[in-house]
Amino acid sequence: MEKIIDKLAWFHIREGQLLAVRSKGKTLFYLPGGKREQGESDEQALIREIQEELAVDLVPGTIQYAETFRAPADGKAAGVTVQLTCYFADFTGDMSPEAEIEELQFVAMDDKAVCSQALLVAMDWLKAQSLIR
């Protein structure tokens, strides 16, 4: 039976590149975001996760569904899939890596070597929409 890790993720694009984050002790970059807690809406969970990881506040009225992606989960057993429900949103504040996040980086299609599979699937979609280079 397939195991699915259900996560929310934030798309933040600047100059044709997508914001990605790397957790402490990991080598690959991921989309910022995380899992819902009991009773949270997608919007509430995404706002909380981004605040915890990047110390910025997403602007509630600007949160807009983008797409949902599935890919093999990085560092997990075969048959474990990550499902990313992705949103665009504006933010306020100055971004900095917090909690388990060690590094932020803006990635483009030529940075595939450092990206998790789920991030690559999302990047292919964004590229097809002409949103990243």
**107 assigned to some structural domain:** yes
**133 assigned to some structural domain:** no
Number of domains within the chain? 1
**124 assigned to some structural domain:** yes
**11 assigned to some structural domain:** yes
- Predicted model pTM: 0.94
Q: Domain range holding 40? A: 3-128
Query: Any idea what the CATH number is for the domain that residue 21 is in?
Result: 3.90.79.10
**113 assigned to some structural domain:** yes
Structure confidence by residue, pLDDT tens digits, 3-32: 999 999 999 999 999 999 999 999 999 999
**44 assigned to some structural domain:** yes
Quickly count: other Cβ atoms within 10 Å of residue 109's Cβ: 16
Name residues whose C-beta falls within 8 Å of residue 19's C-beta, 6 or more positions apart in sequence. Answer: 10, 11, 12, 13, 31, 32, 104, 105, 106
Going across the sheet that includes 3-11, the strands are 33-34, 3-11, 80-88, 64-72
Given a cut of 70, whether residue 1 has pLDDT beyond it is no
Handedness of CA 39, 41, 46, 52 (dihedral sign): negative
